[in-house]
């Protein structure tokens, strides 16, 4: 008597860990996720901030690429240059203590950005005072002219 083919039993904890599936993304998925154009993503790839796997002409982005894109976009929003973003991201990838060094460098960059913003704010305040002064003078001269027609 022949037995019917059996289906393998589901894996259990005793069988060891299941192979972890790596999540991948298409360029379109990342573009939609971060509300940027595919051209933007290709630009960051060209700049060395992303390194997708290639299958023919298709780019396959992994979780590391997704995080790098997220950090890049956040850095740009905060006013970081691409060189600053690249430095911090590459430091993390290249060094065993990358996370600590990355965070220290990030703090240095943030301090520089904050100092630049403070200088810009002071420049804006001074410009506003100058505008107020010119406006006051113009109003005074106009008032002194009275009802004279142009």
User: Strand, helix or coil at 60?
Assistant: strand
Phi and psi, residue 55, nearest 5°: -125, 95
Share of the chain above pLDDT 70, in %: 79
- Assess if residue 12 is contained within a domain: no
Q: Please give the mean pLDDT across all residues of the chain.
A: 83
Query: What CATH number has the domain bearing residue 132?
Result: 1.10.1660.10
Phi and psi, residue 35, nearest 5°: 55, 50
Torsion of CA 83, 85, 88, 91, to 10 degrees: -60
Query: Is pLDDT at 6 greater than 70 in this prediction?
Result: no
pLDDT, residue 11, reads 46
DSSP class of residue 96?
A: T
> How many domains are contained in the chain?
1
Tell me the pTM. Answer: 0.61
Those residues with Cβ within 8 angstroms of residue 120's Cβ, 6 or more apart along the chain or in another chain? none
Phi and psi, residue 19, nearest 5°: -60, 135
pLDDT, residue 120, reads 94
- Assess if residue 35 is contained within a domain: yes
- Assess if residue 7 is contained within a domain: no
pLDDT, residue 96, reads 57
Task: Write out pLDDT tens, residues 98-146.
Answer: 577 777 878 888 899 899 999 999 999 999 999 999 999 999 999 998 8
**Rg of the chain over all Cα atoms, to the nearest angstrom:** 29
């Amino acid at each position: 008597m022949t037995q019917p083919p059996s289906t393998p039993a589901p894996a259990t904890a005793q069988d060891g860990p299941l192979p972890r599936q790596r999540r991948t993304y298409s360029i379109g998925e990342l573009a939609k996720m971060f509300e940027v154009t595919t051209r933007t993503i290709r630009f960051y790839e060209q700049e060395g901030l992303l390194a997708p796997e290639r299958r023919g002409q298709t780019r396959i982005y992994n979780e590391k690429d997704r995080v790098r894109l997220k950090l890049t976009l956040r850095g740009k929003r905060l006013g970081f240059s691409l060189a600053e973003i690249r430095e911090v991201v590459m430091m993390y990838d290249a060094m065993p203590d990358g996370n600590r060094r990355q965070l220290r460098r990030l703090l240095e960059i943030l301090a520089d950005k904050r100092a630049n913003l403070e200088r810009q704010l002071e420049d804006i305040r001074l410009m506003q005072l100058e505008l107020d002064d010119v406006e006051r003078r113009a109003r005074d001269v106009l008032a002194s002219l009275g009802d004279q027609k142009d």
